[in-house]
Structure 1
Amino acid sequence: MDSQNIKPFRARRHLKLITILYIINFFAFLFFPGNLKIGVGLPILLIIRTIWQYNLVYISIGEDFITYQPAAPLRKSVSILFKEITSVSYKNNKVIINYINKISNKQYTVNIPLSIMEDAEKEKLLSTLHIILKDKEI
C-alpha cells in the first residue's frame, strides 16, 4: 500500500483558543500560593496534550481501509476494511459505522464524533466517505 494514497483528517477545532487559555492558566498558577508542582505541572500536561492533539491524525482513509484514532490519549485506534463495513449513517454530528470483523465474526459499531473537527476538514471527510461508501449508506 502506498502512503501517498492515504488521506489524513485532523481534529483541530478550538485548539488555538484552548492553547491560549492553558498558557494564561499556567502563568496564573505561578502567582497563586500553594503547591508549585500542581500549579506548574497541570498546565504543562494540558499544553502537551493540546500539542499531541494538534499533531494527531484523527481519521485516515486509504485505498481499502479507514482508521479512526480517538482524540482521548489512551484509547486505541480502530482500523476497518471497506469490505467489512455493513452500513454507514450520519446522525447528530457523528458518523456511525457498523462492521463485521471477519476474524471474530462479531458485529461492532464505531461512533466517530465530528464536533472536534474544523468545518472545512469535516466537509472534506464527509464528501470522501460519501464517494467511497455510497453503496453502504443508510
Structure 2
Amino acid sequence: MTSTHTTEVSTRRQTYTVPTHINEPDKLLFGLTARQLLLLITGASLAYATWLQVLTWAIAWGGGLLWSRGLAFLAVLPLVLVTLAGTFLQIAGRPLELWVLVWIRAHLSPGTSVWRSAKWDAAEERRLHTHNSAHTQEGQRDHEQEGWS
C-alpha cells in the first residue's frame, strides 16, 4: 500500500515600498529643505550684521535711538525681502536664483535669437525647395544647350 502525502507549501508574498517622491528634496527642519535653510540662515546673518553696523554708524553720527533704529530698519528691509523671495518664491516650479542666473546669462551672452513659427518654417521650406529645384532645372537646360551631357 502506497500512500501519497501532499504538503502544502505556504507562500509568503513579500511587499516592498516603492518611493514616489524621488525628485523632491528632503525636508530638514520646519518643512524646509536644506537649500531653503541655508538661504534663510545666510540672509538672516547678513541682515543682522547690517542692522548692527547701520545702528552703530547712526548712533555715532549723533542720531537719536529712534532715528537710528528707523534707518537700520530701512537698510535691512531690502535684505529681508530678497532673502524671503529667494527662499520661498518659485516660478514655474524653479527657484528664483535659477531665474536670476538665466537672466544674467541671457544678458551677458552675445547673439541674436530669431523666432519663427512652425507654419512659417514649413512655408519657407517649400518656397526654398521650389526655388532650388527651379535653379537646378535651369542649370540642366543651360548645360544641355551648351553641349554638356
- Normalising by structure 2, report the TM-score: 0.29
Identify the structure with the greater strand proportion. Answer: 1
Q: Which has the larger radius of gyration?
A: 2
Q: Using CA pairs under 8 Å that are at least 6 residues apart, name the structure with larger relative contact order, 1 or 2.
A: 1
Identify the structure with the greater helix proportion. Answer: 2
- Normalising by structure 1, report the TM-score: 0.31
